Amino acid sequence: MKTLSIIVPCYNEQESIPLFYPAVEKIIEQLNAKIEYWFVNDGSSDHTLDELEELHEEHSDEVHFISFSRNFGKEAALYAGLQASTGDYVVVMDVDLQDPPSMLPTMLDYLESGEYDCVGTRRVDRKGEKRFKSFLSNEFYHVINRISKTEIIPGARDYRMMTRQMVNAVLSVSEYDRFSKGIFSWVGFKTKYLDYHNVERAAGETDWSIWKLARYALDGIMSFSDAPLSLAIWTGLVFSILSFLGLLVIVVRHFVSPAASAFGWSSLACIILLMGGLQLLFIGIVGKYIGKIYMQTKNRPIYIVQEKK
Ligand code: UDP
Ligand code: MG
């Protein structure tokens, strides 16, 4: 019988864990597979760890957990879970039941058929989410897919089941700044996407503010594209051509009507400010990339484990 590893990142999820486990167990009974859970406590400040300890005591051969020394973020938690997992198939799911466990049997069927290496899930609507947030998300997918060669599927969740071969490929991508949505797509393999309707959180609150999402989006773009760096080249080119044309106009005007007055100082000030602003902006963009290189070259571990059971 094949083994299925279930990886569950948890950050301040004391209310969700007691709901999650029975909900998944109910579905798992139908599966023809041995199950192994890897919960990852991502430095929670509530009783998440106690809940996990309790679950481990009750089902010690099936439920395992890793506890981080602090909050390292969901991406790090996923990486830790994937590293710890031993199953032939591995599924990654959120603990808040926004990733419907009822999809597990279908996902497993697709992998067992041997036709696919990965089964991903895609939200087809964003019911219950703020309109502005949905709008920004859509724009993000639009932009990143235009400027990056790695395809990022709109609405795709991290909820996915993979074969061991694909998991090993994902683990071989050991970069510090992990944008999983991109990495899953970058490693290739044949992926089947299942659509489902958005489900609201079972308990607790999401930790993602608009700002955090915006930072996440920018990180994603910078992890999978260097297009922002070329922006400076193109803008510089356009302004060089414009200034050359401007020069021509001045020279021609000098000969045609030497008496014409010079342009005012205010337009000059605006041009200087504009160019100064653009230069700072582009230095900033270059700086962000250098920052990423800096973090990567430090070669720090992606997470620190305090406890593992
Ligand atoms: N999570 C985590 N570390 C964090 C933030 C979130 O491990 O720093 C976990 C969280 O416990 C949940 C999953 O990642 O299981 C998704 O988080 P959330 O529900 O807040 O995000 P959303 O579903 O809104 O994308
Ligand atoms: Mg959620």
One pLDDT digit (tens) per residue for the chain, 309 residues: 889 999 999 999 888 999 999 999 889 888 888 899 999 999 999 999 998 999 899 988 899 999 999 999 899 999 999 999 999 999 999 998 888 899 999 999 999 898 999 999 988 877 767 788 888 888 888 888 888 888 888 888 889 999 999 999 999 998 888 888 889 989 989 999 988 887 777 777 777 788 888 888 888 888 888 888 888 888 888 888 888 888 888 888 888 887 766 667 777 887 888 888 888 888 988 988 998 899 889 888 999 999 888
How close are the terminal C-alpha atoms of the chain, in Å?
A: 24
Does 18 map to a domain? Answer: yes
Could you identify the atom of ligand 1 that is nearest to the CA of residue 205? 20
Q: Is the CB of 88 under 6 A from ligand 1?
A: no
Does 30 map to a domain? Answer: yes
State which residues form the domain around 244. 227-298
* CA of residue 206 to ligand 1 center, whole Å: 7
Q: What order do you get walking across the sheet with 156-163 strand by strand?
A: 191-196, 118-123, 156-163, 89-92, 3-10, 34-41, 63-68, 305-308
Whether 30 and 167 share a structural domain: yes
Total domain count, the chain:
2
Could you identify the atom of ligand 1 that is nearest to the CA of residue 95? 15
Give the Cα separation of 266 and 262 in Å (integer): 12
Whether 52 and 189 share a structural domain: yes
Whether 201 and 242 share a structural domain: no
Whether 69 and 193 share a structural domain: yes
- Could you tell me the two tokens for 106? 């279908």
Pocket test of ligand 1: the residue of 42, 68, 74, 199 to mutate, having most ligand atoms within 8 Å of its CB, is 74
Whether 187 and 293 share a structural domain: no
Q: Which CATH number fits the domain that encloses residue 183?
A: 3.90.550.10
Whether 21 and 91 share a structural domain: yes
Q: Is the CB of 75 under 6 A from ligand 1?
A: no
Could you identify the atom of ligand 1 that is nearest to the CA of residue 98? 23
Whether 164 and 100 share a structural domain: yes
Which amino acid is located at 84 in the chain? Answer: A
* CA of residue 75 to ligand 1 center, whole Å: 10
